[in-house]
């Protein structure tokens, strides 16, 4: 079998980050729901198509069943014959155990599980506490950058104000600061990434990783996901379920899948450097990659016009909020 042509282009993360594929593959509830050989084939094909960024987080928590998706990823890349210089690793760091568990200890454990000694990018999890010391956090991250354990870092669902605050602390600590903001973004959830506060963040050179783009599969047609999905800011999920049929109708007119249409929409945001999605089937991967061609065929402006009626969190979610 011949190697497919690389069709996924690269974009820069922030002002100091690497060049990453505009599509990135996530690990949340994916590899642990697949036959191992299918996962190997899919990840190999993703790399061959030009996807170079893999978000691999440790998602197990005390009191819950153990999760091994990151350990599986380590085995998958070995079985697929993918060398470490062929992909970029994005790892998650959680703020709940910090500073009792240092960032370094947490990261070293995560890297051990995934089978490498450094992360090209780390994403700090949601802020769910009022006593987080952003100054000390910035200092600790700067030390990890200097030591080469991380290449650069970003944040997940932080407010624009929190990002600006930690960026100021980071610059004082000798770091370029956060390079990317991972944000929920889809035809239905747009208020935060498309709002004025984040427009200022993006103007400073920080880019976006669009995430939760299919609302846990709802926008792809699975209206009752049988697995855990992301939280629901603004309580608009039922409205998203209602919007799914309309999005599917637009997709049918364009002769594409609803998932492909949603991926294409996220690619139209001018500050997106990469779009994160999970796939458990080869066809899902192929369909989502074909979204790149859809943007070229229909045009960014037209896609945004077609999907404008399905923006359900407008005037519901505060653009300044997480």
Q: Beta partners for 153?
A: 122
Buried b (16+ CB within 10 A) or exposed e, 17-36: bbebbbbbbbbbbbbbebee
Say if residue 99 is preceded by a cis peptide, omega within 30 of 0.
yes
258, part of any domain = no
Its domain, for residue 35, covers 10-217+268-282
**What pLDDT is attached to residue 28?**
80
255, part of any domain = no
**What pLDDT is attached to residue 201?**
97
- Structurally, the chain folds into a number of domains equal to 1
d(CA 177, CA 16): 9
d(CA 58, CA 267): 27
Model pTM greater than 0.85? yes
**pLDDT < 70: residue spans in the chain:** 1-2, 59-65, 225-229, 321-322
**What pLDDT is attached to residue 308?**
98
33, part of any domain = yes
Tell me what percent of the chain is helix, strand and coil, each rounded to the nearest 5: 45, 15, 40
92, part of any domain = yes
Distance, C-alpha 244 to centroid of its chain: 21
245, part of any domain = no
d(CA 262, CA 251): 9
310, part of any domain = no
d(CA 46, CA 221): 23
**What pLDDT is attached to residue 113?**
92
**What pLDDT is attached to residue 95?**
95
Tokens at 175, concatenated: 């770091």
Q: Beta partners for 23?
A: 275
Tell me: the pLDDT tens digits for 76-114? Answer: 999 999 999 999 999 999 999 999 999 999 999 999 999
97, part of any domain = yes
Residue 250's CB is within 10 A of a number of other CB atoms, namely: 18
**What pLDDT is attached to residue 5?**
84
d(CA 65, CA 50): 34
Q: List the CATH number of the domain containing 135.
A: 3.20.20.100
307, part of any domain = no
d(CA 89, CA 87): 7
**What pLDDT is attached to residue 322?**
57
Closest CA to 183 of 68, 298, 272: 272
Alpha helices, DSSP H, located in 156-230:
160-172, 196-203
């Amino acid at each position: 079998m011949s190697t497919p042509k690389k069709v996924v282009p690269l974009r820069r993360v922030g002002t100091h980050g690497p060049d990453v594929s505009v599509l990135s593959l996530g690990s949340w509830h994916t590899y642990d729901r697949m036959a191992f050989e299918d996962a190997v084939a899919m990840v190999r094909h993703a790399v061959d198509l030009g996807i170079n960024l893999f978000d691999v987080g440790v998602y197990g928590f005390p009191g819950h069943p153990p999760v091994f998706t990151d350990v599986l990823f380590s085995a998958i890349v070995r079985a697929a014959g993918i060398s470490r210089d062929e992909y970029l690793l994005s790892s998650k760091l959680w703020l709940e155990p910090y500073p009792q568990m240092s960032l370094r200890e947490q990261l070293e454990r995560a890297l051990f599980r995934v089978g490498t000694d450094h992360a090209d990018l780390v994403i700090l999890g949601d802020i769910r506490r009022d006593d987080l010391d952003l100054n000390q956090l910035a200092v600790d991250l700067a030390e990890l950058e200097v030591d080469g354990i991380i290449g650069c870092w970003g944040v997940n669902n932080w407010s624009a104000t929190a990002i600006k605050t930690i960026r100021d602390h980071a610059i004082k600590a000798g770091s370029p600061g956060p390079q990317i903001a991972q944000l929920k973004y889809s035809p239905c959830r747009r208020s935060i990434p498309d709002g004025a506060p984040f427009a200022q963040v993006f103007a400073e050179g920080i880019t976006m990783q669009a995430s939760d783009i299919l609302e846990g599969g709802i926008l792809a047609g699975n209206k009752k996901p049988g697995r855990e999905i992301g939280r629901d800011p603004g309580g608009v999920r039922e409205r998203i379920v209602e919007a799914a049929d309309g999005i599917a109708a637009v997709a049918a007119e364009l002769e594409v899948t609803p998932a492909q249409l949603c991926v294409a929409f996220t690619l139209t945001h001018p500050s997106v450097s990469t779009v994160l999605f999970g796939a458990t089937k080869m066809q899902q991967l192929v369909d989502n990659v074909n979204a790149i061609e859809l943007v070229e065929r229909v045009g960014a402006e037209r896609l945004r016009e077609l999907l404008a009626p399905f923006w359900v969190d407008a005037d519901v979610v505060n653009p300044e909020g997480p």
